[in-house]
């Protein structure tokens, strides 16, 4: 385990202040690296000192910090993972980041750090990974929250995240990335985007700034990109026997037809819409935390 740095804590307190989150005591968290059976690592943030009640999986191109304000708003002891190929976790040499492949390393982490978690929460690629996880490792998923994604969603041209990640592979400065992210409609405020970019980038030896995640560091012409068609996950979702909550951002990727299909193919699932874009956990963390809390309280 490694201690939280002063800079990390300062950024976190900025988030707390920006969203008006009231804390009874200073946030307690640690960065923990979990060794994978294939030799890589999955880097995680462990919140609180009690056994985790919740586990969080982020979307493509993001990292565990995307959940900071949601976790603090909910007040749960929790774990948030850097998915393989993201943040401080190892990359896959074969560049296979399909949800079915990601579910294996995630299962190893949760079995170690949060075997009795009451809920697994996943957004976008993390939501699809959580579906695969629930189907293949049901002992690790008591409840499932899927945020602004569905196996029926096809991520093609004109998609906000896909188009953003298809941009330059390096930048002259972090401000350049912030400006680009704001142009694409990411983040509730410039300050929030600046924090996200700071945590999600590194500076190369030549002074150019690059993203930490693998998707943005692929050589041109490899033909490899983010997964885009997830229909193969329908059987996995339909097999899940635990309670399922679908959270939809009002300005996100799901439409009425996709929501209707998700609910029709997932008996007993319920849905809630939150005023937000695709990254609900960053734009409306208090509302999302409230929805998760209410979901956990249901019999």
Contact 260, 269 (CB under 8 A): no
CA 140 distance to own-chain centroid: 18
Residue 31, phi then psi, degrees to nearest 5: -90, 125
Residues whose CB falls within 8 Å of the CB of residue 189, separated by 6 or more in sequence, listed in order? 18
List the catalytic residue out of 58, 86, 214, 278.
278
Catalytic residue check, 124: yes
For residue 61, what is the enclosing H or E element?
none
CA 89 distance to own-chain centroid: 13
Distances (CA, A) of 173 to 53, 185, 199, 209: 39, 19, 14, 6
Catalytic residue check, 169: no
Catalytic residue check, 86: no
List the catalytic residue out of 73, 124, 150, 276.
124
For residue 44, what is the enclosing H or E element?
strand 41-47
The DSSP bridge partners found for residue 270 are 245
List the catalytic residue out of 148, 150, 213, 276.
148
Residues designated catalytic:
124, 148, 278
């Amino acid at each position: 385990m490694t201690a939280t740095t002063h800079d990390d804590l300062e950024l976190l307190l900025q988030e707390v202040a920006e969203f008006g989150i009231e804390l009874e005591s200073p946030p307690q968290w640690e960065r923990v690296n979990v060794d994978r059976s294939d030799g890589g690592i999955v880097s995680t943030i462990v919140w609180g000192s009690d056994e985790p009640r919740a586990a969080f999986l982020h979307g493509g191109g993001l990292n565990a910090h995307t959940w900071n304000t949601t976790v603090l708003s909910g007040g749960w002891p929790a774990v948030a993972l850097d998915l393989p190929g993201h943040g401080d976790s190892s990359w896959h040499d074969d560049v296979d980041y399909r949800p079915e492949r990601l579910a294996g390393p995630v299962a190893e982490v949760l079995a170690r750090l949060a075997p009795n978690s009451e809920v697994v929460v996943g957004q976008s690629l993390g939501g699809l990974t959580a579906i695969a996880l629930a189907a293949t490792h049901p002992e690790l998923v008591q409840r499932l929250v899927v945020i602004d994604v569905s196996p029926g969603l096809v991520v093609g041209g004109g998609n906000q995240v896909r188009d953003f990640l298809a941009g330059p592979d390096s930048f002259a400065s972090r401000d350049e990335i912030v400006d680009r992210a704001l142009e694409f409609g990411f983040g509730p405020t410039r300050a929030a985007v600046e924090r996200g970019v700071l945590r999600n980038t590194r500076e190369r030896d030549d002074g150019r700034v690059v993203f930490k995640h693998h998707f943005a560091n692929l050589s041109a012409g490899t033909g490899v990109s983010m997964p885009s068609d997830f229909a193969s996950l329908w059987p996995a979702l339909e097999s899940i026997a635990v309670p399922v909550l679908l959270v939809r951002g009002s300005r996100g990727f799901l439409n009425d037809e996709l929501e209707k299909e998700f609910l029709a193919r997932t008996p007993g699932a319920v849905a809630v819409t939150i005023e937000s874009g695709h990254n609900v956990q960053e734009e409306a963390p208090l509302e999302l935390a409230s929805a998760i809390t209410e979901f956990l309280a249901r019999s």
